[in-house]
Amino acid sequence: MKQKTELPEELCADEAVCFIAYRHHVTPQQLLRHFLYGEMSIPLEDNEIEILKGLSGMVENDRITNIKTS
């Protein structure tokens, strides 16, 4: 059974995270789960990936190394 990881509330409420999520018609939680854990497919632009990488210091760094850019 998959264990759900709690995402930091302040990261989910971040203005940039909310804006990117809105652009892709997903919730901030869905966006962050995609970005950090690859739970769904969202076609992020390179600049969006860089923004999320910059904000991801609030989350475990070892998860970030698995991110693929398209």
Could you report the per-residue pLDDT of 5-61, keeping only the tens digit for each? 678 888 999 999 999 999 999 999 999 999 988 877 899 999 999 999 888 765 554
User: Does 3 fall in a domain?
Assistant: no
- Which residue range forms the structural domain that includes residue 38? 9-59
Q: Which amino acid is at 67?
A: I
**Assigned domain for 13 exists:** yes
Cβ distance 23 to 15 under 8 Å? no
Q: Is residue 41 part of a domain?
A: yes
State both tokens at 30. Answer: 């869905």
Look at the chain and report how many structural domains it folds into.
1
pTM score, two decimals? 0.72
- Please determine, for residue 66, whether its predicted confidence score (pLDDT) is greater than 50: no
